[in-house]
């Protein structure tokens, strides 16, 4: 069964505090986005990678590919107004009728090969798979008149790649956009489908703030 990875990289990097979008920031000598594509290609070089980028970022990406001699094969789809629309555009390039599709954040370069393989393997059996990690902090639920402690054992932190049978993901993304769609699993769940959970890896952080970049550099060293 053909496998695809849709890498979504539409962020403008505002929380990084600079003009350079966070996916292009070099970390230990290599742009974050290249590290992410490297990870998927190294895990399985038969994967078809679809990179979703805002149209006005694409010329700069091509310049970076030339500068770094970046040769990982990939297709490029235009980013949309929201993540939902970006994934829709990426899905349009999935041309195999029977396939598995992983959707991954471009600024998560530290996902493990084991997690990627586990997600694809279980998606073939269950249809919809999301990697998660346990909550290690105490969690409080905000109420109108205060707050209360809730059991952290009842919650998980969600990561990517969220992986699905292509037919199911296409059907989910035919739905009208809704503000409640915060990730791909929420879109699929709106069809009434069950989401299967697998264990993620804690290093698989989303690089969103300058502090995250400090962690990334430490992981690479």
What is d(CA 66, CA 216) in angstroms, rounded to the nearest whole number? 24
Q: CA angle 80-86-87, nearest 5°? A: 160
pLDDT digits (tens, 9 = 90+) for 148-177: 999 999 999 999 999 999 999 999 999 999
Q: CA angle 30-13-78, nearest 5°? A: 85
Residue 119 near residue 161 (C-beta atoms within 8 A): yes
pLDDT digits (tens, 9 = 90+) for 105-142: 999 999 999 999 999 999 999 999 999 999 999 999 99
What is d(CA 59, CA 41) in angstroms, rounded to the nearest whole number? 22
3-state secondary structure of 133: strand
Within 10 A of 27 (CB to CB), how many other CB atoms are there?
18
Structure-token pair, residue 123:
């998606």
Backbone torsions φ then ψ of 132, nearest 5 degrees: -140, 160
Which residue segments constitute the domains of the chain, with CATH numbers given? 2-220 (3.90.550.10)
3-state secondary structure of 36: helix
Residues with Cβ within 8 Å of 119's Cβ and at least 6 positions away in sequence, in order, are 102, 129, 131, 161, 162, 163, 198
pTM, entire model: 0.95
pLDDT digits (tens, 9 = 90+) for 16-34: 556 788 999 999 999 999 9
Q: Are strands 146-150 and 196-199 parallel, antiparallel or unpaired?
A: unpaired
């Amino acid at each position: 069964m053909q496998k695809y990875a849709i890498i979504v990289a539409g962020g403008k990097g505002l929380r990084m505090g600079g003009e350079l979008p966070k996916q292009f920031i070099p970390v230990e000598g290599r742009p974050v986005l290249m590290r992410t594509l490297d990870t998927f290609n190294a895990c399985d070089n038969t994967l078809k990678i679809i990179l979703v980028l805002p149209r006005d970022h694409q010329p700069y990406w091509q310049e970076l590919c030339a500068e770094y001699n970046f040769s990982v094969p990939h297709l490029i789809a235009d980013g949309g107004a929201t993540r939902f629309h970006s994934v829709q555009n990426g899905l349009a390039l999935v041309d195999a009728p029977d396939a598995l599709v992983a959707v991954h954040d471009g600024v998560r370069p530290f996902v493990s090969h084991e997690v990627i393989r586990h997600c694809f393997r279980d998606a073939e059996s269950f249809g919809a798979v999301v990697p998660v990690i346990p909550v290690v902090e105490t969690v409080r639920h905000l109420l109108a008149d205060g707050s209360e402690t809730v059991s952290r054992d009842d919650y998980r932190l969600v990561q990517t790649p969220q992986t699905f049978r292509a037919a199911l993901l296409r059907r989910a993304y035919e739905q009208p956009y809704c503000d409640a769609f915060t990730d791909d699993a929420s879109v699929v769940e709106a069809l009434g489908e069950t989401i299967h959970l697998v264990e993620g890896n804690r290093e698989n952080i989303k690089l969103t703030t300058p502090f995250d970049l400090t962690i990334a550099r430490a992981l690479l060293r």
